[in-house]
Chain A
């Protein structure tokens, strides 16, 4: 297949080159920046918004909210003033490694996507909120930004359109919660990354009180292709496997033969991803269960493998597609340990704002440690079950703790026996009062 053809089938990754990503010349030679040039020349911002809305592109950060509808709340018109476009590149969801591929492999595509989005909402400034550990991504994005600026694609009066747009990379300093869009905005402003109250939504009052749109790297990277090839083409990419359109960066990790990222039609089944693209389980390992898309999704069982991997189908099965990067759990894994690790992660990454998340998660970890070490009690299992409710949606300030409860509740549902195995026999001393949190805090100077 020629690159041109490939771009029509797997638009996001066709140009990816991790060794030496395309410079601007190569990128433009392959049709890069045409979308933004054409859009600025031929389309009104409202037209761009309409195209994206028609494509039904759903946010690839994990929540699946339609991008066009998200934009639709942004105040438009000549008096709308300063507006911000922020790329959420704070990829920190455990078992997620897709945005990194796009940023390191084809940085210009993201920049072009941001130009399209920025033009559509008439943003004045853009930031790529990049997690601090992605050093190579930062280098490559900054190099690409410099090229784009030199080419007149960034800055004042872009391509003579009268529209001005500055774009820069903002690197973070850790903390998973920065991926939550309002926490991200606080972090961008140089504050503690506590989520903000909604409403008002960021599109109305976000960064520095101004209208702000936060979109994921993968979502933004789709935009040039939607502009180039149209909404109908985009919808067709799913090949009828889903009512959603487009491709999706799926991935697979765990004890599989060929872990990695695969750009496939959205709605491809988990079985196809694991068995064909990842080559199936390694020899001697069988699939016990799987996480469909990150730490904050419910475990699914082998019987769910034939479900199309799209937002609605996985949701119906009681989980969430999330980032769409599957973690295959093999038969050697102890579910109590896995869940303990997950809850330890969520407890450590809680921002500390609301009570259930801040104080409930560490409690869950301590009970899980007790069960893991065979020092648990039956009441612990009951209490863990209670926590899955008390830390559920609506009970907490943001989605962090509800996300944390997803793997816990599903593990309790599917693997209760493993939890019960951790209950100390009646009459044995469980000496469990001294379980502290194992997470390490080195930064908080004040003890």
Chain B
């Protein structure tokens, strides 16, 4: 604690902060550009100048940059000082000498930090009368637009992209007034986290290209607090809608999860919801019918069935899955994961919920000082974790700075001290990963061998955990290096998950974490899961999917209800075909056209995550609510997509469920592990000052004309019975003392702060937790010490001859996720399908540019990718890619040339 004096008032602040942070924490506005809560201070823009005085008697004072000045005890400063104010206005005037003043045609306009700061400094007329320098722009790929003329050279982009996110293909070029930020050569930005440039850039240099085509100003969109559906991290997002289309996804700050940053898949993968060929009307045998007709048909099928079973979905909400389970009964409710994946998720649940080490938050991962990633390519399977691990590695800079008495916000000094040093990160995976560049050591091996390595590490940490028999010398040495680094760490972190498809890998990871935990309470663990609501589904304890397919194929059941699931992604084609061939009635509830909807007699159109309310449970066991962004019916009354749980509530009329709270409450009561989901966000009755919370900014315009093509009279805004949010600009949108719960913030805005920087106004302290608590409710109460897992697998033995290869799923950031891979920009960014084969195996397989791969009887021809990292005797197939067959774990394929 330190006492500082600002314009004659005394405040208590954290003396470890700089003055800018300290003042922002106090709610005092100082304009800034180059400083960013996640990027620290570099003193480049000179915008945050204040007057500093030696003591209370000093009347002269001197101009200092608040971001570069510690908030030490006894500091006297003035923000309102005339000289400081004039200087701050001069800085904006300098920036404006080259800025094009093109706000009316600039996509940043309306959520532009430069606009906000210009208004704040009150610079309003310029004296510069000469020419402006101009730049050529670059095509940076499908995600990011580039307009360098707007650049104010704050260097945030390169500091974020290179230093923070580890990207190598964005740089700063030239010098003096001719500095240029872009790629060395035009081309697609390579980082999986490039989209954050659009929010890091304080003006319109880097903008969201996916938004450009359907551009709408920030104040003219409707928003809801939402949860990203593209992995199990559950990043909080703020999707914006206009005219019935999602137009942009922005980060929604969460102090324990995503912080300020998202991955590109999450940010740019929303396009599936806007697809024209999505089911938006009920179908019977492919023909559009009314909802009543479809419901009648479905009821008839269910009532007339000899046996109805249902398959749930890890990408559908807890409420939808619970409603389905209630309808058919727990014994007839089957897992929506592939069979083995379901087992892996169950194991993960057991480790994280019941074990002694709970899942580590993303923010806490950034503080780890030794990390082992076992079996995962987290940049693909849980991308936001990868970004956090990069910060963990860089965290050594803070420690070095501490030794030299340098504050941790001194970003330049931290980088100078760190150089190429980092905290140890070990990546053990089946093939190269996108995190290898920060790894102190990498291990490439088949899952069995990764597990053996992991068990060996655990055994070194605690001899009472099982030893690994017959470990080769090299692996033993690797295990020793990893164990030593983890044991020496203050905050070791183990990340594993379902990605390698191996229970043994996860068990080994658990053993390591548990062995460490016995000695070090600060041990962290995280297990990635296949999908956004994998845990929510698993906690409903579904039966294995294989049993469902077997029951159908054998005729034990004749009617199937499928919830938001493409079965062809969950089991071999032949198996699904055989099961569906026997089905009398197939009812599919989904928002996306899949091979399963194509075979359904009845299709009930579901809401996407953007169109509906629901609760999902992330990798930590955090239940989070996503809210409907807009009501499609407002634009077209014929549209019928509603949440799956709503279809099911109608089908199951006896349930009496009317609104979301009814079903959430019923589920919480019925399933003890899910009791906490009601607390994920306030219920429908919640009000602030008697008001619902507005989904639209108060300047939302054009509403009266929005439906003028249909009727000139403005219809009533849709009513939202399910949530405390209103489909309107009317309602609560204030900030201040009585703040709304963070889970109910649709978008970031505070008076004078229109850009994403306005999140600063909602935090307990800058870059920390949100006021009113970070959104969501942790469902796991903390487990207890468990016995070590003891099933150490035998080493993988590649088949030395012939055409048989173990198939390994390779996870890629783009193209493998079912929903986002349907979005056009993601498809453009994704690689084509391929089969990866170890260089040593090329001759044996006889492949030559192309290969024919046969898995479970399914034959596909794919281009080959020769890998120098894939273990011999294996082939890799990109998981979840269109044109790539379903691969069960541990399955062999035959591979041959051409």
A residues lining the B interface (CB < 8 Å): 175, 192, 196-197, 199-200, 204-205, 208-209, 347-356, 358-363, 366, 379, 383, 386, 390, 394-397, 432-437, 439, 441, 443-447
Contact = CB atoms under 8 A, between A and B. Distances in A.
Contacts of A348: 176
Contacts of A432: 129-130
Question: Most chain-B CB neighbours within 10 Å: which of A349, A354, A362, A436?
Answer: A354
Nearest to A397: B43
B189 to A, nearest CB: 15
B173 to A, nearest CB: 5
Nearest to B177: A362
B412 A350 contact: no
B152 to A, nearest CB: 8
Interface in B78-135: 87, 90-91, 94-95, 97-98, 127-131, 133, 135
B404 A433 contact: no
A444 B175 contact: yes
26 contacts: A192-B172, A197-B68, A200-B404, A204-B404, A205-B406, A208-B419, A209-B418, A209-B419, A348-B176, A352-B153, A352-B179, A353-B44, A355-B47, A355-B91, A356-B91, A358-B176, A359-B98, A359-B177, A362-B177, A363-B97, A390-B90, A390-B94, A436-B133, A437-B177, A446-B135, A446-B136
Contact of A358 (B177, B182, B405): B177
A379 B405 CA distance: 47
Given A205-B416, A359-B98, A394-B64, A446 B46 contact: no
Given A352-B179, A355-B45, A356-B46, A447 B94 contact: no
Contacts of A366: 130
Contacts of A351: 175-176
A355 B44 CA distance: 7
Contacts of A360: 94
A181 to B, nearest CB: 13
B404 A349 contact: no
B128 A363 contact: yes
Interface string B375-391: 00000000000000000
A45 B178 CA distance: 46
Contact of B90 (A199, A347, A386, A436): A386
B751 interface: no
Contacts, number: 137
Contacts of B91: 355-356
B688 interface: no
Given A353-B44, A355-B94, A395-B87, A196 B176 contact: no
A354 B46 contact: yes
Contacts of B412: 196-197
Contacts of A361: 176-177
Given A356-B90, A395-B46, A395-B63, 4 more contacts: A196-B416, A205-B404, A356-B91, A437-B177
A325 B699 CA distance: 63
Contacts of A192: 172, 175
Nearest to A441: B178
Contacts of A443: 174
A424 B115 CA distance: 35
A115 B417 CA distance: 26
A354 B44 contact: yes
Contacts of A349: 176
A352 B175 contact: yes
B155 interface: yes
A433 B418 contact: no
Given A209-B419, A354-B43, A444 B180 contact: yes
B410 interface: yes
A363 to B, nearest CB: 6
B49 interface: yes
Interface string B15-52: 00000000000000000000000000011111101000
Question: Most chain-B CB neighbours within 10 Å: which of A208, A383, A447?
Answer: A447
A208 B419 CA distance: 6
Nearest to A202: B416
Contact of B95 (A355, A383, A396, A436): A355
Contacts of B214: none
CB-CB nearest 10 A-B residue pairs: A444-B174, A359-B94, A352-B179, A366-B130, A209-B417, A350-B176, A197-B412, A447-B136, A390-B90, A446-B180
A390 B135 CA distance: 27
B413 A197 contact: yes
A358 B68 contact: no
Contacts of A395: 46, 49, 63, 87
A199 B173 contact: no
A390 B97 CA distance: 15
Contacts of A209: 400, 416-419
Contact of B130 (A347, A363, A441): A363
A446 B137 CA distance: 9
A359 B64 CA distance: 19
Nearest to B63: A394
B490 interface: no
A354 B43 CA distance: 7
Nearest to B410: A197
Given A196-B413, A197-B68, A390-B87, A358 B179 contact: yes
B94 A356 contact: yes
B406 A447 contact: no
B62 interface: yes
A396 B46 CA distance: 7
A414 B509 CA distance: 76
A435 B413 contact: no
A232 B155 CA distance: 50
B153 A197 contact: no
Contact of B175 (A200, A350, A359, A390): A350
A435 B400 contact: no
Contact of A379 (B95, B127, B182): B127
A196 B42 CA distance: 9
A390 B46 CA distance: 10
A209 B412 CA distance: 11
Interface in B46-73: 46-47, 49, 62-64, 68
A220 to B, nearest CB: 24
Contacts of B417: 200, 205, 209
Contacts of B133: 436-437
Interface in B390-433: 400, 404-406, 410, 412-413, 416-419
A396 B153 CA distance: 15
Contacts of B153: 352, 355, 358
Contact of B174 (A359, A394, A435, A446): A446
A370 B176 CA distance: 21
Nearest to B148: A446
Nearest to A358: B177
B35 to A, nearest CB: 13
Contacts of B179: 352, 358
Nearest to B174: A444
